[in-house]
Structure 1
Amino acid sequence: MPVVAGTDGSAHAERAVAWAADEAALRGLPLRIVHTLARWGKDMPVRPPRDAEEALPTVGQRLLDEAARQARERHPDLAVTTELLRESMPFALRDEAGGAFEIVLGHRGLGGFRSLLLGSTALRVAGRTEGPVVIVRGRVLPAYGEITLGVDPFEEQTASLEYAFEAAAVRGARLRAVHAFQLAAPDDPAVTPDDVAAVAREELAKVLAPLTERFPQVEVVQQVVQDHPVNALVDLSENTDLLVLGAHGHTALGGLLLGAISHGVLHHAHCPIAIVRPRS
């Protein structure tokens, strides 16, 4: 299964392709780079000249060729393929996910407003794609030798646990497993932060135990903090190489979406974030 990276030629996409190339080389997997043809909606008041539309495939292939060149420059022995797709990027990457080890894209592209912290494509792909989706923010090269995993020991998140341990093992990195909590009733003297933290530490250890047995080579640091999960994880993202989160949310109609914590972290993290949803 390849690592699949989406590109639109933006600087953010170039960083995503670089991260994906490093990841593929590290895991001994091929890299597949895709680009989608932009389309003008039928409801737009002014359509571009026909020759501009006809040039889109040529321009798109140039973007792919350049992305492939940069990937091979980083890793000369890496198997790299490219494809120009006709769907919009969110739909294309969701289709690609079924045959991919993971999907990788930049946190913003060429479109949208400069003030946005996270592009609509990244948000839609991360929120509605099965399997791991990596949104590349901040630095590309590893600098800390540590991966951070956000854990809710009271929720099912086997997929994100396995991904995080595998990522740490293949990198030879330390894994920091973090649970952050807030008191539901902070003024209730019957429930103290120490009581909640003690229960959380016990449950966290139980959740991690099967994975620590499977990956004895991975050094694991267990951490329970009293803080809003988004604040805690964003702060930790300043000193980690990859932040791994599970995704659990569902819409009323059964569609997949991001939970509030993943959504908040995606907007503000300082490092690449892997959103891991179980495959059906």
Structure 2
Amino acid sequence: MNRFIVVGADGSDAATAAVEWAADDAARAAARLHIVHAVDRSPYEIATFSTPGQGDAIALSAQSVLADAEAVARKRQPGIDVTSELYEGAAAAVLRGQAGNASEIVIGGRGLGGFPGAVLGSVSTHVAGHAHGPVVVVRSDPGTVFGEIVIGLDDYHAGEPALAYAFEQAMLRMSTLRAVRAWRPPVHAHVPESTHDLDEIHATQCRIATDTLQGWRQRYPQVQVIEDVQQTHPVDALAKASEKADLVVVGSQGRGAIGTVMLGSVTLGVLHHARNSVAVVRP
């Protein structure tokens, strides 16, 4: 078994949901599940917070988190191969470092240490913005099934890996794939003297969506595809579609230098506003 899925565990409810989600995906894909927990000792190395024996307490707590996560995964999917490992360092850096060999990384939307009321945790944002390959941010109860995967269509070649991931997810889940392409009219399209024909623009966008999906339909003939072309902002369209989707898949151009810039405004907007889980797929 060469494929493996990495999931981050920290003992929070969000991380537990991520472990359940990852266990289900491992079962569908016949992949090994690798649970990781990061121990960041830096706060305890400051003299003000130094306590004799604190290191042992941290290690015991970390082992307990891993044991509990393994138990959750095995109960959820008894037949899968589960391993776990404890790492030293910041959680975001540890998870990002797992991206090289994993088929996907799964994380909770907000773990321990998140600010009350925060929509998305800093670890989730960092990993989704930096790790190559699919990063799934679990935002929903894995027990709720809608039978639909949503993919956002764009004009960039960076979207090809996202399409591949979305079609595979739809095939493994035997779900419908809703391909959403959202467009906005030119700034002066509604001016009376404007030569823009909105119906023609819409028809062109529909043709682009059909052409983009043609090859993928042939590779995955068993997947039912709905082409959903809308005149609206992409974030609004995908957030709305997420309400009845098991997963929303978005590509990322991978441009920019630091932080969330690498996600792009649409991808970041979907991560913050989607009602259910989101997979960000960077080349």
Range into which the TM-score falls when normalised by the shorter chain: over 0.9
Can you give the 5+ residue segments of structure 2 that lack an aligned partner in the other structure? none
The letter for the 2-side match of 1:80 is V
How far residue 252 of structure 1 moved from its aligned partner, in angstroms, is 4.5
Q: 193, 197, 202: which one pairs with 1:197?
A: 202
SS at match of 1:175: strand
Structure 2 counterpart of 1:245, from 221, 226, 250: 250
Backbone CA RMSD of aligned residues: 1.9
**1:128 and 1:256 in contact (8 A); partners too:** no
Residue 6 of structure 1 aligns with an amino acid whose one-letter code is: G
Contact preservation (8 Å) 1:140, 1:272: no
Q: How does the TM-score come out when normalised to structure 2?
A: 0.93
Query: 1:156-175 maps to which residues of 2 (within 5 A)?
Result: 156-175=158-177
Q: Percent identity of the aligned residues?
A: 40
Name the SS for the 2:205 alignment partner. Answer: helix
Query: Relative to 1, partners in 2 of residues 1:121 and 1:253: Cα closer, same or farther, differing over 3 Å?
Result: closer
Q: Please name the residue that 2:96 is paired with.
A: 94
The equivalent of 2:25 in structure 1 is 23
CA distance in structure 2 between the aligned counterparts of 1:224 and 1:252, rounded to whole angstroms: 32
Could you tell me whether the CA contact under 8 Å between 1:153 and 1:200 is conserved in 2? no
- Between 1:45-54 and 1:248-257, the stretch displaced more is 248-257
Q: How does 1:7-18 map to 2 (within 5 A)?
A: 7-18=9-20
Quote the offset at 1:46 in angstroms.
2.6
Q: 1:4 aligns with which of 3, 6, 21?
A: 6
| Paired residue type of 1:261 | V
Give the C-alpha shift of residue 249 in structure 1. 3.6
Deviations along 1:159-181, one digit per CA (max 9) or x if unpaired, are 00110111101111110000011
Deviates more, 1:183-192 or 1:251-260: 251-260
CA shift at 1:255, angstroms? 10
User: Superposed, which structure 2 residues align to 1:226-265 within 5 Å?
Assistant: 226-252=231-257, 257-265=262-270
Q: CA deviation at 1:112?
A: 2.7
Q: Are the structure 2 counterparts of residues 8 and 143 from structure 1 closer, same or farther at C-alpha, using a change threshold of 3 Å?
A: same
Contact 2:260 2:268 (C-alpha < 8 Å) held by counterparts: no
State how far apart, in whole Å, the 1-side matches of 2:260 and 2:270 are. Answer: 21
The CA deviation string for residues 109-159 of structure 1, in whole angstroms up to 9 with x for no partner, is 111311210000000000001000000002213521110101114554110
Q: In the alignment, what sits opposite 1:187? A: 190
Give the Cα separation in 2 of the matches to 1:252 and 1:67.
34
Instruction: Please report the TM-score for the alignment, with normalisation by the length of structure 1.
Output: 0.94
Structure 1 position 141 matched with structure 2 position 146: no
Specify the code of the residue in structure 1 equivalent to 2:247.
L
Q: 1:127 to 1:198 in 2, by over 3 A?
A: same
Is contact 1:40-1:47 (8 Å) kept?
Answer: no
Contact 2:7 2:35 in 1 (8 A): yes
Number of residue pairs aligned between Structure 1 and Structure 2 = 278
Q: CA 1:94 to 1:13, structure 2 compared with 1: closer, same or farther past 3 Å? A: same
Show CA shifts across 1:55-92 (max 9, x none): 11111011001100111011111110000001211111
Partner SS for 1:97: coil
**Per-residue CA distance 1:19-58 (angstroms, 9 max, x = gap):** 0000001111110000000223489573141322331111
1:273 matched to 2:278: yes
